[in-house]
Amino acid sequence: MDPVVEEVEKTKREWDEAYAKTQEHIKEIQEYGKSTLEETKNKNSLPRLNGLAQDGLSLLNALQFNLDLLAPQLPTNEEVQSAKALLDTWKSQCQSLRLSLRNANLQAKENMRKTAQKERELLLGGGEESTIRRRNLQTKAGMTSAAESITESLRRTRQLMVQAKESTGVLRKAESEYKGHRSLLMRTRNLLSTMQRQDVIDRVVLIVGFVLFSCAVLYVVSKRIGILKLQRTVTAAIKAGMAGKAEVARKAVEDGINHGQFHENAVPKVGIPLQQPMHDEL
């Protein structure tokens, strides 16, 4: 079967179901308020019934729009004309449902007015039935008051539970923030420990470097002092050697003079300048 035809058939089935349910809701609205107030309270409220009926009308409008889109896509011309005719029928049915819904609401209001008047007459009238009804109303009023007090107590309990839940949420949030700060503090503590270790290492390196530098300076100074001592020693030795030569020369001269004194026939040395010529006195 063609998919468009299948979609049209599905739309027809959904229309029939929605139309039947909407008619039921409109009928319930029309019958609303005919029974006593107690029986009326046990049933669905009038606004709820009106909401269900409006939802049904909205669904019918959507199905009608869907059929309007699918009709031109049908394979044969006869099916297209049939779908258009069905669409016109649906439009008239929707209009009829809206009118029926309006009349049903008017009827429901009239029914509630008549029922309320009847209940008032029964309450104000005499007889055993009126007495029983008044007692029932008093009992219902007491039950209503008790129900209201219970409802108020439950409301306060709910507020307390909401507050407790909010407090729990606040505590959980504070705990999560504390955990976040705790992890941050742990990271900071580890970083400080690392910095302290690095500071100790830097100090050790500086001390070792200073000691090595001092040792090098002392080594250089000691070497320099040794060289100076060596130079002084060498200088002293050279000076001592020169002094020894002078002493030897002096001793040699002295020895020569003494030798001349012992040999009278020896001619003494006379210091004669080289440039002065010698003259024979003879």
Q: Could you tell me the pLDDT band of residue 205, with boundaries at 50, 70 and 90?
A: very high
pLDDT surpassing 80 at residue 51: yes
Give the pTM.
0.43
Q: Provide, rounded to the nearest whole percent, the portion of the chain with pLDDT above 90.
A: 9
Q: Could you tell me the pLDDT band of residue 233, with boundaries at 50, 70 and 90?
A: confident
Q: What HEC string does the chain produce?
A: CCHHHHHHHHHHHHHHHHHHHHHHHHHHHHHCCCCCHHHHHHCCCHHHHHHHHHHHHHHHHHHHHHHHHHHHHCCCHHHHHHHHHHHHHHHHHHHHHHHHHHHHHHHHHHHHHHHHHHHHHHHHCCCHHHHHHHHHHHHHHHHHHHHHHHHHHHHHHHHHHHHHHHHHHHHHHHHHHHHHHHHHHHHHHHHHHHHHHHHHHHHHHHHHHHHHHHHHHHHHHHHHHHHHHHHHHHHHHHHHHHHHHHHHHHHHHHHHHHHHHHCCCCCCCCCCCCCCCCCCCC
Residue 204's pLDDT is what?
A: 92
Residue 131's pLDDT is what?
A: 60
